[in-house]
Amino acid sequence: MVEYTGWKSTVLGVHTTRILVSVVAVLSFATGLLHMGMDTVSGPLGAVIPLWIQNLSGFTGALTGFVVLSVMIGLWGRYRAAWRVGVIVVPLTMVQAVLQASILSVPLILVAVLATVGLYNNRDAFGRSIGLTLTQKVSMGAVIGAVVYGTVGAYTLRHGFTQDLTLFDAFYYAIVTMSTVGYGDIAPVTLEARIFTVSLIVVGVGSFTAFVGSLIGPIIQHHLPKKVEGRRNKREQKRAE
């Protein structure tokens, strides 16, 4: 693993880059929330960019903030996959900030530029592989497959709901149903749509539970024996005293 010295280490080194990415995550989420539903803007591009694009950029900016937060966690572990996602998502936050057309987004633009440069300069420092197990890969594929199944199925049965579904409506319905949130704005009315919804709940909840279990299980198996052994050693030491 490469450790940088000199200018890169003191100005835009690995540690500084990770801090910048963390700031991008916070600013992207914060500015995204501020711009959602905003009626007026104060930036120089406010008169050029339509308001619906500004609001959409605010919504997606908040979502991107969560993604950058995940990238930040991976960068602190020096994972290569986190770096690959970061070099795409961090510049994306800069584009979203520009489309928000507000003076409030200027800090995000500046920090995102520095973070992007830092990621590029320190690309060789993030080389650790994740090493997913076969179970984790299969469960991840199951979650993706469930989302595809829910989206395609809902769109195929789009006339069997309280409103005709667009492709995005079908995707939205799949996510809401799989998460068991169930806002109620879209509901099945035909027998086929109801049967499909029941199957989507079973498939979605089952695949997501299996995926979470495949991630948490190895962590527990790795750390729990160490903690038990540590407590046992402490008890033996107290007895010896």
Read off φ and ψ for residue 188, nearest 5 degrees: -75, 140
pLDDT by residue for the chain (241 residues), tens only, comes to 444 444 444 567 888 999 999 999 998 888 877 766 555 555 555 566 666 666 666 667 777 888 888 888 888 888 888 899 999 999 988 888 887 767 778 898 999 999 999 999 998 898 888 777 777 778 888 888 999 999 999 999 999 999 999 888 899 999 889 887 777 889 999 999 999 999 999 998 888 888 877 777 766 666 666 666 667 777 777 776 6
CA distance 241 to 236: 9
Distances from the Cα of 165 to the Cα of 52, 185, 188, 190, angstroms? 21, 12, 11, 14
Q: Which amino acid is at 161?
A: F
- Residues with Cβ within 8 Å of 129's Cβ and at least 6 positions away in sequence, in order, are 79, 80, 81
3-state DSSP percent of the chain in helix, strand and coil, to 5: 75, 0, 25
The whole-number pLDDT of residue 119 equals 93
CA distance 192 to 185: 19
- Enumerate the domain spans of the chain: 7-125, 134-240
The whole-number pLDDT of residue 17 equals 92
| Strand, coil or helix: 161 | strand
Quick one: tokens of 140?
């991840």
Which of 33, 32, 130, 34 is closest to 74 using CA atoms? 130
The whole-number pLDDT of residue 66 equals 81
Q: Which amino acid is at 170?
A: A
The whole-number pLDDT of residue 149 equals 94
The CATH-assigned architecture of domain 134-240 is Orthogonal Bundle (1.10)
The whole-number pLDDT of residue 139 equals 83
